[in-house]
Amino acid sequence: MEHVSSRVHKGEYAIMIGAVAAVTSESSQVLRSAMGSYDPPKGWGGFNWGRYSNPELDALVTRASNIADDKEREQVLRQAMLVGATDVANIPLHLQKTTWATRHGLRYDGRSDDQTRVVDIRPE
């Protein structure tokens, strides 16, 4: 039996629900993988199952990856996100909310990629 993900990458679904999370504190990874034009050799569009493509968005994300200044890079990434949102590159059907709890005296800072790692629990 063929795995679901191989069928997704072949475009054999009319609709698909999935999730992409940023491991870093900025949006370039999500923009490249979920909205960037599908280009596996380049490492772009791995989660772009609808094969959305906009050269303007791609150019902005590429430009942002070459900007060292955090504030300037953020502005360029905001422009790229606006391009994708205006085009409705993805239709958000679900917003994941993850909740973590610990006992008194312990601290756990939730991760943006929703992973829960015991090694990240710290005394308060």
Beta strands in the chain (DSSP E): 106-107, 122-123
**What domains, with CATH codes, occur in the chain?**
4-95 (3.10.105.10)
pLDDT averaged over 10-residue windows placed end to end, the chain, 124 residues: 66 72 79 93 89 96 96 96 93 79 91 84 92
Q: Are 48 and 36 in contact (CB under 8 A)?
A: yes
Distance CA(54)–CA(89), nearest Å, equals 9
Task: Enter the pTM of the model.
Answer: 0.72
Spatial CA neighbour of 46 closest among 88, 3, 9, 93? 9
Predicted local confidence at residue 86, as pLDDT? 95
DSSP 75: H
